[in-house]
Structure 1
Amino acid sequence: MLLYFICFLDLLSLGILLPVAPVQLASLGASRLLIGGLTSVHAFLQLTSGPFVGSWSDTKGRKTLLIQCLSLIFVSNILLLFTSSLLVYIISRILFGLTGHVQILVRAIVACTIEKSAQNDAFAKMGAAAGLSFVIGPLLGGVLNSMEDGFFKIAVLLNTFALINLSISFFVIDIDVKDQNKTLKKKPIVMELTQAFVNLKQIDWNIFWDLFLFRFLCESGYSAFFTTFGIVLMGHFGASQKEMGVTISLFSVTMIVMNLAMGKINEKIYAEDPRGYQRNFHGFLGLFSTFCFLYAFPGFHSYIIVMIVMGIFRAILDSTWMEMLVSRTSETNKGTITGSFESIVQMANLVTPVLATYIGENYGYVQTYLIILMFLLLGVTISNYCLRVNQSRIKTD
């Protein structure tokens, strides 16, 4: 329960800040180019530091590193209280980009401390917590930012959440810290960092290539979609900010319901799919069909349908990937693998938004659906191939 709460508050803070960050940066004198550049810098920092933090947690201990990351997140949020300085704001976000890896560490702790039979349910509940945070967060951030000294109030709230999470983290049980070799704890930090790099090199990445590729394809499609989401809805279909917020909430609510129901769905529908390949194929096929519908029938009401259906299949994919990932890891590399896997999101965010924006500005934003369909079609093709290979192996065995 403590881990779910930490996960929820961490993502709630992100959900509060994301919609108001561009507005705050603009009020401090940042240009559109600088705002976009900071987004890319944040994605790059998360991409490069995520695998390293995960690997370091395998050496240092996940609970220990979680406490340290939360401490630095608290410091980065304190800097947000200085709302009149653009430089201080940038420093705050750079620090957060390097240390904001709570989700990686929490997932690694869950994988180590919860029985395998209960892990799917645990990850599903974390997914539900994430969905709930992105229902409440943007709404709360918008309300607070509309008040006098709104961003200062947001900064105070973020510091409160960070302090609560930091306090809770001391009570988290992490079996690998308890049983860890004491000689590792006595090593200087330079040796710990060196060992973290060594851990990354020692992983047999051939075991995980398909999962990393599947997530990259899916996240690239989602990144292209949400990059142009507001422009298409408000600019082309005349939706208001309220209608756009409701549309996003539909996606989040669907994710919450689906994550809570995944245990029953797996039991009733996918009982014969222990390795997850069938669920993975169905997820990609469902998303591809959904965006084919959106491309053929673009419109505000189509977006409402798409957001609901998209939430269903995305929840299936997320829970399936975590199940497959954990089943392939060992006790000594869960942090390394989880950190690298979560960094795929940032890899997609580095490339796809630029491509989607370029095509949107030159050929029309509705044409960005073709990029999404390209990524998802690759996902359908490769997931179908992996499914057939797995079925052949089962018949052979």
Structure 2
Amino acid sequence: LFLPSFQDLFGVSLVVPLMNLHIKSLGASHTVAGIIGSLYGVMQLFSSTFVGCWSDIVGRRYSLLACILLSALGYFLLGNSTTVFVFAISRVPVGIFKHTLSISKALLSDLVSERDRPLVMGRFNAASSVGFILGPVVGGYLAEFEGGFYQTSFICASIFLLNGGLVWMLPWSEENSSNRDHYQDKGTNSCSAKLNHDLHSKSATSRAVTNSSFFQSPWIQVAAVLKKIKGIACSNLWDVFLVRFLMSVAILLYYSNFTLALEERFGVKPLFAGYLMSYSSALGVLAGCLLGPITRLYRYNTYRLLLHSSTFTCVLVLLYASAGSIWMVILSSTFLAFSTTIGRTCIIDLELAVGGNEASGTLLGVGQSVTAVGRIIAPLLSGIAQEFSPCGPPSLAVGLAFVAIVIMNANTQKYRSHGSGKLKNQ
């Protein structure tokens, strides 16, 4: 799964940086380009929860293959987009079904033990990040040739088709049997007995019909999806998702005006800001590889690691907002790459640990929707804050991160008891 995740973001990052240039070359105005981009985000917002829950109902194999092939169709249409209308149509299947990485994470969560999950997720994120670092370089090189955008789109579609073949070759029978053992061994590991009882009973039913549910009536599948979403909505996971939302908006605010703020505050050219962001991305890959030793150092207590990484992130963003020299910015960016990578992995692990692995697809889908809401709100907040000062967005980010830390501290007993129980059971 690490190889498809690398190829996934490599293919996407070939195309995404060139899309604005392409749609403008088709004659679209800035407003039309912005509307199409916003519609893609809205489709992602509403589809992530349903697709994640659908993967719990019909099984990871069919849902992952469907998402990969339909995403490939979207990028193939993009490679044939000679008008703005075709360009907009090509974004529909990608906007609805480009949840391949989320379903892959849910599959990894099914396969590994709770103790090894942060390590495996960290390596998975690292593999994906390497693809996102290399993709823009190759895409920019290909864009120099005539018809470069169309070539990169077809290459991206071909990569997704290759990923479909790799996923089809996975040993699914072994995965299903290990899944059942995994669920049986972890029946008592959750700190939320009511939620786990509900999700476990629903998952037992869904696992019993996984092999045939893909061929059931769509209405039956929709009813099952809505029932699982209702179970999540009525659970006590609101604080976990609120922390994820606040920290996501805080990080998005930090990056929202990064290039412009560096230019206004320190007279730094955009090229240097680009190098600095690439440097941070490379360090994020390293951080993902170091998650194993770090989680062992914290005795696999996800809550404590998340609390400390969020606190560190808050302090580093504050340091960036008050930096008096470019060297302070470089210092804060260096350590932010580690704290944000660790925080993203820990919040996913905490969602699965508190909510239970039985609905991992639904939980990850809801988490993606929460982050998508942050992506919609963050630009608006950044614009308002930037009216007052170039340091406005990161200053607001500090406040939001502080609120997230307060919420985590208010629920210390619940998460701490969960962490100790998890170690005891293991």
TM-score scaled to structure 2, two decimals?
Answer: 0.84
Match of 1:352 in 2: 378
Which runs of 5 or more structure 2 residues have no equivalent in the other structure?
180-206
TM-score computed with the length of structure 1 as normaliser: 0.90
Moved more, 136-145 or 249-258: 136-145
Match for 1:34 among 29, 32, 44?
32
Match of 1:384 in 2: 409
* Separation in 2, partners of 1:128, 1:119: 14
Deviation at 1:235, TM superposition (A): 5.5
Match in the other structure for 1:126: 124
Contact residue 110 and residue 357 of structure 2 kept, 8 A: yes
| Identity of matched residues, % | 21
Letter in 2 for 1:123: M
Determine if contact 2:8/2:128 at 8 Å carries over to the other structure. no
Distance 1:394 1:316 in 2: 17
Q: Deviations over 1:146-194 (max 9, x none)?
A: 3332212211221221111111110224435996425534421222122
Partner of 2:249: 220
* Counterpart-to-counterpart distance in 2, 1:153 and 1:380: 46
Cα distance between partner residues in 1 of 2:117 and 2:234 = 23
The answer to whether the Cα contact below 8 Å between 1:111 and 1:334 also exists between their aligned partners in 2 is yes
- Residue of structure 1 aligned with 2:261, choices 225, 232, 250: 232
CA distance in 1, matches of 2:124, 2:418: 32
1:74 equivalent to 2:103? Answer no
Cα deviation, residue 82, structure 1: 1.9
Aligned-pair distance for 1:98? 0.5
* C-alpha contact (below 8 Å) 1:52/1:336 kept by paired residues: yes
Q: Which residue is equivalent to 2:49?
A: 51
Partner of 1:291: 317
Once residues 212 and 145 of structure 2 are traced to their aligned partners in structure 1, the CA distance between those partners, rounded to angstroms, is 53
Establish whether residue 192 from structure 1 lines up as the match of residue 221 from structure 2. Answer: yes
**Counterparts in 2 of 1:22 and 1:308: CA distance versus 1, 3 Å:** same
Deviation at 1:358, TM superposition (A): 3.2
Q: Could you list the per-position Cα deviations for residues 89-130 of structure 1 after superposition, in whole angstroms to 9, with x for gaps in the alignment?
A: 111112211010001110111111223333222101111112
Pick aligned residue for 1:363 from 358, 383, 388: 388
Q: For residue 150 of structure 1, what is the aligned residue in structure 2?
A: 148
Give aligned pairs, total.
391
Find the residue that maps to 2:79 and give its secondary structure: coil
CA 1:36–1:394 in structure 2 vs 1: closer, same or farther (change >3 Å)? Answer: closer
Instruction: Quote the Cα distance in structure 2 between the aligned partners of 1:23 and 1:191.
Output: 43
State whether structure 2 residue 352 is matched by structure 1 residue 326.
Answer: yes
Distance 1:357 1:138, change over 3 A: farther
Letter of the 2:407 counterpart: I
**Residues of 1 paired with 2:403 and 2:121: CA distance?**
26
- 2:257 and 2:60 map into 1 onto residues whose CA distance is 37
Deviation at 1:141, TM superposition (A): 2.3
SS of equivalent to 2:27: coil
Amino acid paired to 1:228:
N
Q: Is the 8 A contact 1:207 1:328 kept in 2?
A: no
| Alignment partner, residue 342 of structure 2 | 316
Match of 1:113 in 2: 111
Q: 1:257 to 1:350 in 2, by over 3 A?
A: same
CA distance in structure 2 between the aligned counterparts of 1:281 and 1:90, rounded to whole angstroms = 41
Using the TM superposition, name which of 234-243 and 80-89 deviates more.
234-243
Using the TM superposition, give the Cα deviation of residue 144 of structure 1 relative to its aligned residue in structure 2, in angstroms: 2.2
Equivalent residue, structure 1, for 2:292: 263
Candidates 278, 281, 288, aligned match of 1:249: 278
Please identify, of 362-371 and 285-294, the stretch whose mean Cα deviation from structure 2 is larger. 362-371
Q: Which moved more, 1:326-335 or 1:41-50?
A: 326-335
Q: Distance in 1 between matches of 2:53 and 2:400?
A: 29
C-alpha displacement of 1:277:
2.1
Q: Give per-residue Cα distances to partners, 1:327-373, cap 9 Å, x unaligned.
A: 2344541211111112222110111112212332x323332222211
CA contact (8 A) 1:80 1:155 kept: yes
CA contact (8 A) 2:118 2:345 kept: yes
Matched, 1:65 2:63: yes
Distance 1:84 1:294, change over 3 A: same
Given that 1:284 and 1:376 are in contact with CA atoms closer than 8 Å, whether structure 2 keeps it comes out as yes
State the distance in 2 between where 1:29 and 1:42 align.
19
1:34-70: CA deviation from partner (whole Å, max 9, x where unpaired) = 2222232222111100010011111111110111111
Looking at structure 2, the residues matched to 114 and 234 of structure 1 have their Cα atoms a distance apart, in angstroms, of: 45
